[in-house]
């Protein structure tokens, strides 16, 4: 148990039998009336985001989430195989559980897998990663119809927008949360 004053980003709450991760929170103390906490919560399993307001000091139930460093090994049919870096135990995670993170998973890359009561609940990638451009059209100097960017495919098969000067074979740094180009690596 914790109070709403203890909320912080990434904390997992157990509300009405479902797990919710705190994405954003803000303590509000209006001139009149009691203080309250405005939060944005993300359902850990479905990914649905909701806004919820709590009275300040209200007790909320927190879920114990064990975050482990794991290595992504390979894709086996419909499952992604991860290995715990500490005890070498292997976990088979479904495509639904991995979600959009699959677009930025390279074999042997390090990720964090969150477990609740021994069951994996979500995969957390590093904020950015380096990928090689496997395909992109050549950039034409006079082409400015799309703000100086073009489509490119990275080695995982995901498509990102890159500046016109980026060519095939170039290593680029990509934000794994939004898929945005961050620069050459």
Which residues constitute the domain of residue 161?
Answer: 128-184
pTM of whole model > 0.85?
no
CA dihedral 167, 143, 151, 177 (to 10 degrees): 100
- The pLDDT tens digits of the residues spanning 125-182 come to 888 889 999 998 887 666 565 567 888 999 988 899 888 888 889 999 999 888 888 9
- The pLDDT tens digits of the residues spanning 72-92 come to 998 888 889 999 888 888 888
- The pLDDT tens digits of the residues spanning 99-124 come to 788 889 988 889 988 888 888 888 88
Q: Which of 79, 105, 124 is the last residue of a domain?
A: 124
What pLDDT, on a 0 to 100 scale, did the predictor assign at position 114?
85
What pLDDT, on a 0 to 100 scale, did the predictor assign at position 63?
86
Both tokens of 52, joined, read 């919820």
CATH number at residue 30: 2.30.30.30
Distance of CA 70 to the CA centre of its chain: 15
Give the distance between the most distant pair of CA atoms in the chain.
61
Task: Find the mean pLDDT for residues 12-38.
Answer: 88
Mode of pairing for the β-strands spanning 79-84 and 66-76: antiparallel
Structurally, the chain folds into a number of domains equal to: 3
- The pLDDT tens digits of the residues spanning 122-139 come to 888 888 889 999 998 887
Residue identified by tokens 């890359």 is: 109
Task: Give the other-Cβ count within 10 Å of 127's Cβ.
Answer: 9
Same domain, 144 and 160: yes
Same domain, 169 and 140: yes
CATH number at residue 106: 2.40.50.140
């Amino acid at each position: 148990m914790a109070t709403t004053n203890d909320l912080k980003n990434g904390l997992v709450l157990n509300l009405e039998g479902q797990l919710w991760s705190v994405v954003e929170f803000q303590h509000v103390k209006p001139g009149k009336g009691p203080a309250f906490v405005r939060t944005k919560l993300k359902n850990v399993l479905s990914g649905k985001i909701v806004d919820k307001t709590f009275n300040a000091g209200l007790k909320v139930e927190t879920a114990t989430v064990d975050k482990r460093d794991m290595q992504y090994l390979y894709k086996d049919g419909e499952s992604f195989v991860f290995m715990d870096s500490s005890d070498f135990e292997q976990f088979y995670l479904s495509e639904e559980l991995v979600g959009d993170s699959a677009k930025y998973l390279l074999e042997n890359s390090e990720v964090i897998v969150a477990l609740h009561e021994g069951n994996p609940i979500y995969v957390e990638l590093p904020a950015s990663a380096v990928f090689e451009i496997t395909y992109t059209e050549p950039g034409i100097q006079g082409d400015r119809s799309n703000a100086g960017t073009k489509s490119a495919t990275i080695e995982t098969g995901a498509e990102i927008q890159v500046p016109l000067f980026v060519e095939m074979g170039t290593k680029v740094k990509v934000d794994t949360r939004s898929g945005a180009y961050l620069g050459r690596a």
